[in-house]
Amino acid sequence: MSNRILIVDDAAFMRMMIKDILEKNDYEVAGEAENGQEAVEQYNELKPDLVTLDITMPEKDGITALKEILQEHPDAKIIMCSAMGQQAMVIDAIQAGAKDFIVKPFQADRVIEAISKALS
């Protein structure tokens, strides 16, 4: 059975890019969300194997969503996505329990490496 992944990013284009990388590598996209609030709701509903979570989003940012998901589901596997120059936020995310982070624009091999490492 392929691993189910929830993609969270406020930019539809970025979600499409990740979805494309995942599907080409035999991962199943369990769902998509465009802000942190939707991410928490969809995680609870879909129980994906992993989440790719953007840091900077409207309504609820990725760090807040990360903490809320991990509070309910301590074993959740979450990889943060960020643009260049957000090192401080990435460090916050890792300290809060994120498994890894990937930088935009996405490099397919780096995305797959981070995901397979987090799932193993």
Q: What is the pLDDT of residues 33-79, one digit of tens each?
A: 999 999 999 999 999 999 999 999 999 999 999 999 999 999 999 99
Write down the architecture of domain 9-54+61-108 according to CATH.
Answer: 3-Layer(aba) Sandwich (3.40)
120 contacts: CB under 8 Å, gap ≥ 6: none
Q: Which 8-state DSSP code applies to residue 4? A: E
**What values do phi and psi take at 103, rounded to 5?**
-105, 140
| Residues linked to residue 53 through DSSP beta bridges, in sequence order | 8, 80
Of 84, 80, 82, nearest in space to 95 by CA: 80
Strands 28-33 and 100-103: unpaired
Note the pLDDT of residue 28. Answer: 97
Task: Give pLDDT tens digits for 8-40.
Answer: 999 999 999 999 999 999 999 999 999 999 999
Q: What is the pTM of this model?
A: 0.95
- Average pLDDT on 91-118 reads 95
**pLDDT level of residue 90 (50, 70, 90 thresholds):** confident
58: cis peptide before it, omega within 30°? no
pLDDT in tens, 94-107: 999 999 999 998 99
Quick one: which H or E segment has residue 82?
strand 78-82
